[in-house]
Structure 1
Amino acid sequence: MFQRILIACVGNICRSPTAEYLLRDRLGPGHAATVSSAGIAAVAGHPMDETALALLLENGVDGGAHIARQLDATLLRESDLVLAMEKSHVDAIRRMAPEASGKVFLLDKWVGGRDIPDPFRQRRPAYEQAYSLIEQGVGSWLRYL
């Protein structure tokens, strides 16, 4: 059983917090796991990107409490499962904390192993595409959690 699930991307203001709040919502309030997120090059201290937040809200999930934070080796070691948005993130995480390698996977692992493209500073359709892929990835992990 995974007790501490960490979701990672680059800035921790779009994709990883979207996945964090979606997964937390889908697991429900009674689930034992804690879900958090962090960024490889986080925009630490910043709230969630406005468009990403709006998409979550439109789908009934409030990510307004999110504050971006930096990913580090301690967070990786303390996590039972680490889900990343892109293969390059998986590689970077494994370099950062080689001892965590066995628990790092793509969010899209069970759907097709695709990278989830970064929508940051793009138009809303890019965010919608990322949201859709994140939603599929989150859904695919539920039976394992």
Structure 2
Amino acid sequence: MTMDRKQILFVCTGNICRSPMAEALFRHRFSEATGWIACSAGTSAPLGMPASEEAVQALAEIGIDATGHRSQPVTRELVTNSTVILAMT
């Protein structure tokens, strides 16, 4: 990530519902052209799980495709590279 790029990290437990929805909504509303990169992770997330069917469906209803999401755990690198971290419970 270059110094002029800012990263926002959305964190929940499993990275399959709340945080990927927030990431997708942020990307939809604030494209990377604004200088922000959005990502998400989970405190207890397995690696590579898709977003929940309910999350994918809810986003699809407003025109956002989240079918490509794959879960990932929070890492030191994600935290270090993030300008803003939002945690969801």
What is the RMSD computed on CA atoms of the aligned residues?
1.5
Q: Which has the higher contact order (CA 8 A, sep 6+)?
A: 2
2:22 counterpart (19, 24, 27): 19
Hey, what's the Cα distance between the residues in 2 that align with 1:35 and 1:2? 11
Matched-pair contact (CA < 8 Å) for 1:2–1:81: no
Q: Who is 1:77 aligned against? A: 80
TM-score w.r.t. the length of structure 2 is 0.89
Structure 2, unpaired ranges of 5+: none
The answer (yes or no) to whether the contact 1:2–1:80 under 8 Å persists in 2 is no
Percent identity between the two aligned chains: 38
More strand by share: 2
Q: 1:5 is matched with which residue: 2, 8, 13?
A: 8
Judge conservation of contact 1:5–1:82 (CA < 8 Å) in 2: yes
Structure showing the higher helix proportion among its residues: 1
CA–CA distance in structure 2, aligned partners of residues 29 and 77 of structure 1: 19
Distance 1:76 1:64 in 2: 25
State which structure, 1 or 2, has the greater radius of gyration over its C-alpha atoms: 1
Instruction: Give the number of aligned pairs.
Output: 86
Match of 1:44 among 32, 43, 47: 47
